[in-house]
Amino acid sequence: MMELRHIAMVNWHLFDVCDLEVAGHIGVLGENRSGKSTVLDMAQVVLTGGNRRFQRLTGAFSG
């Protein structure tokens, strides 16, 4: 089983550079258009190895 511990984003959708430490159970909270869906989409892409067959991305990256 894989465990996500650190997220580093560079030029990923709304983020120029962003580092997030992840541990245990987490919640993603924030204002509208603050990047919540972007963070979840990025984690999904990484954890599926970029295989679109297993991805269900949000509307943030549909375009």
Residue-range domain boundaries for the chain: 6-61
- Pull the structure tokens for residue 57: 């991305």
Q: Please give the pLDDT value at position 31.
A: 93
Pick 2 or 59 by higher pLDDT: 2
- What's the pLDDT tens digit per position in 6-40? 888 888 777 789 888 888 888 889 999 888 888 88
Q: Please give the pLDDT value at position 59.
A: 61
